[in-house]
């Protein structure tokens, strides 16, 4: 390498035992980038993705992938530009997506496993690759279509409706025939966007309204689908209002499921699943990896037709990564949370 590059990265220093992550849990490290070897590429990170599941990766507990180890670079989905290549499958200036982590530069190859590098399809922008066509959009797609299975005239409730996953899940339900799509979001601005831009029929402001009362008013015949992004008291309310043969899609638990050392007791209304012959199912979007290309194609078609809209919230600066992740759990993001590292 003619000019030695200094890479800045954030490595896990301590595990956040309770509550939100902070900058104190990470160490900002500068290291020279080594020369790449045959089969490798050097990537300059452009954008990082922030997802609630990242908080779970910081807990030293068994999960669908191993936790981030102390001293390791924080794991994250990202999009970058190839600036050097010794891999015949990648050329300089290719825009690639993978799990390159909280760092300004990354070395990668053709390795398998968690999110190996791949070129962005033509017409897909770096930010859309991490939002509507990334993990959050695909989570909405498979959760709603494969588990929720929306049908004509269904009533659907979506928590986290102004978020990257919830907003898309509700729009997919509408496309598939649901006629009463109800969102839950925090604040009047978010609720206004959910109804006026994302096309939901209504939105409950959990910060200023009685959620239980509003769900009963807006879904008097019960919920055919509940898409859960938050857990906690909202899940309890939803389960208490399901209709017969309801489908409850367990997508996330941002209210407590990622930050508590010991989870709170389950909802008292869970027995209603028996009474109403309902089904409650969790999923991990990576299980659908082989179907990603088809899903992206269908999502792209809906976006082009104006049937799906999405919003991105873009922070800047590597040093702001911990705060940006923490803000997901404070409801401060509006749409898909990204962070820009470079042009």
Q: What is the pLDDT of residues 129-179, one digit of tens each?
A: 999 999 999 999 999 999 999 999 999 999 999 999 999 999 999 999 999
Q: Tokens 């981030």 — which residue? A: 68
Asked whether residue 45 carries a pLDDT value surpassing 90, the answer given is yes
Task: Classify residue 158: in a domain, yes or no.
Answer: yes
CATH number at residue 256: 3.40.50.720
Average pLDDT over residues 259-276: 78
Is 228 within 8 Å of 208 (Cβ atoms)? no
Rg (CA), the chain: 21
Judgement on whether residues 38 and 104 belong to the same structural domain of the protein: yes
Task: Report pTM.
Answer: 0.89
Q: Which two tokens stand for residue 231?
A: 């857990």
CATH (domain of 40)? 3.90.180.10
Domain assignment present for residue 155? The answer is yes
Residue 304 lies in a domain: no
Same domain flag for 240 and 282: yes
Where is pLDDT greater, at 149 or 328? 149
Q: Please write the tens of the pLDDT for every residue from 98-134.
A: 999 999 999 997 665 567 899 998 889 999 999 999 9
Regarding predicted confidence, which is higher, 329 or 223?
223
Q: How far is CA 314 from CA 300, 321, 334, 336, in A?
A: 21, 11, 9, 8
Domain count, the chain: 2
Q: How confident is the model at residue 282 (pLDDT cuts 50, 70, 90)?
A: very high
Average pLDDT for residues 279-285, to the nearest whole number?
96
Domain span including residue 268: 135-286
Is there a single domain that holds both residue 240 and residue 262?
yes
Tens of pLDDT, residue by residue over 171-225, are 999 999 999 999 999 999 999 999 999 999 999 999 999 999 999 999 999 999 9
What is the overall mean pLDDT for the chain? 92
Same structural domain for residues 247 and 268? yes
Give dist(CA 200, CA 62) in Å, integer. 37
The answer to whether residue 50 scores a pLDDT higher than 70 is yes
On the CB side of 336, CA atoms within 13 Å amount to 28
| Model pLDDT, residue 110 | 64
Q: Where are the beta strands (DSSP E) in the chain?
A: 6-12, 26-32, 41-49, 78-85, 95-98, 105-108, 118-119, 155-159, 180-185, 202-205, 223-228, 242-250, 279-282, 312-316, 336-340
Looking at residue 255, what is its pLDDT?
62
Are 73 and 125 in a shared domain? yes
Instruction: Kindly state whether residue 296 falls inside one of the protein's structural domains.
Output: no
Q: Average the pLDDT over 276-281 and give the result.
A: 97
Higher-confidence residue of 236 and 59: namely: 236
Tell whether 261 and 180 lie within a shared domain. Answer: yes
Q: Are 78 and 101 in contact (CB under 8 A)?
A: yes
Paired strand residues for 8? 30
Q: Is the pLDDT of residue 300 over 90?
A: yes
Residues 334 and 273 grouped into a single domain: no
Answer yes or no: are the C-beta atoms of 248 and 7 closer than 8 Å: no
- The reply to whether 79 falls in a domain is yes
| Shared domain check, 175 and 241 | yes
pLDDT value at 254 more than 90: no
Whether 190 is in a domain gets the answer yes
Phi, psi torsion values for 239, nearest 5 degrees: -60, -30
In this structure, are 122 and 149 located in the same domain? no
Whether 261 shows a pLDDT value over 60: the answer reads no
* Within-domain flag for 299: no
- Position 59 scores a pLDDT of 87
Task: Output the pLDDT for position 296.
Answer: 94
Return the SS3 of 334: coil
31 plus 148 within the same structural domain:
no
Same domain, 227 and 146: yes
Task: Name the domain boundary from 249, 269, 286.
Answer: 286
Q: Are 282 and 146 found together in one domain? A: yes
In a domain, 300, yes or no: no
Angle between helices 292-304 and 135-142 (to 10 degrees): 90
340, 315 contact by CB (below 8 A) = yes
pLDDT score at 19: 67
Question: Could you tell me the pLDDT band of residue 2, with boundaries at 50, 70 and 90?
Answer: very low
Cα-flanking dihedrals φ and ψ of residue 314, to 5°? Answer: -115, 115
- What is the C-alpha to C-alpha distance for residues 308 and 172, in angstroms, rounded to an integer? 8
């Amino acid at each position: 390498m003619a000019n030695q590059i200094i890479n800045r990265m954030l490595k896990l220093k301590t595990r956040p035992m309770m509550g939100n992550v902070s900058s104190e849990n990470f160490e900002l490290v500068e290291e020279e980038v080594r020369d790449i070897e045959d089969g490798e590429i050097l990537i300059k990170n452009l954008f990082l993705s922030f997802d609630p599941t990242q908080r779970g990766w910081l807990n030293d507990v068994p999960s669908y992938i191993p936790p981030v180890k102390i001293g390791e670079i924080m794991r994250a989905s990202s999009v970058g530009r190839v600036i050097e290549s010794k891999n015949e499958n990648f050329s300089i200036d290719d825009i690639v997506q993978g799990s390159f982590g909280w760092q300004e530069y990354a070395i990668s190859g053709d390795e398998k496993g968690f999110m190996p590098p791949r070129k962005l399809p033509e017409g897909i922008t770096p930010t859309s690759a991490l939002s509507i066509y990334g993990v959050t959009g695909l989570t909405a797609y498979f959760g709603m279509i494969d588990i929720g299975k929306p049908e004509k005239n269904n009533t659907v409730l979506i928590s986290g409706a102004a978020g990257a996953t919830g907003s898309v899940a509700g729009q997919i339900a509408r496309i598939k025939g649901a006629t009463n799509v109800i969102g839950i979001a925090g604040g009047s601005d978010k609720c206004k966007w959910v109804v006026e831009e994302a096309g939901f029929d209504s939105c409950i402001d959990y910060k200023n309204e009685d959620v239980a009362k509003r769900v009963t008013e807006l879904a008097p015949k019960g919920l055919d689908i509940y898409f859960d992004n938050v857990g906690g008291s909202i899940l309890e309310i939803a389960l208490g209002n399901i209709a017969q043969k309801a489908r409850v899609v367990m997508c996330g638990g941002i209210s407590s499921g990622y930050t508590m050392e010991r989870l709170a007791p389950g909802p008292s209304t869970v027995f209603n699943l028996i009474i109403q012959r309902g089904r409650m199912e969790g999923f991990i979007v990576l299980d659908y990896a082989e179907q990603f290309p088809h899903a992206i194609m269908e999502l792209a078609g809906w976006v082009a037709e104006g049937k799906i809209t999405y919003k991105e919230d873009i922070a800047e600066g590597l040093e702001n990564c911990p705060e940006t992740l923490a803000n997901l759990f404070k409801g401060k993001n509006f749409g898909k949370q990204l962070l820009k590292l470079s042009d």
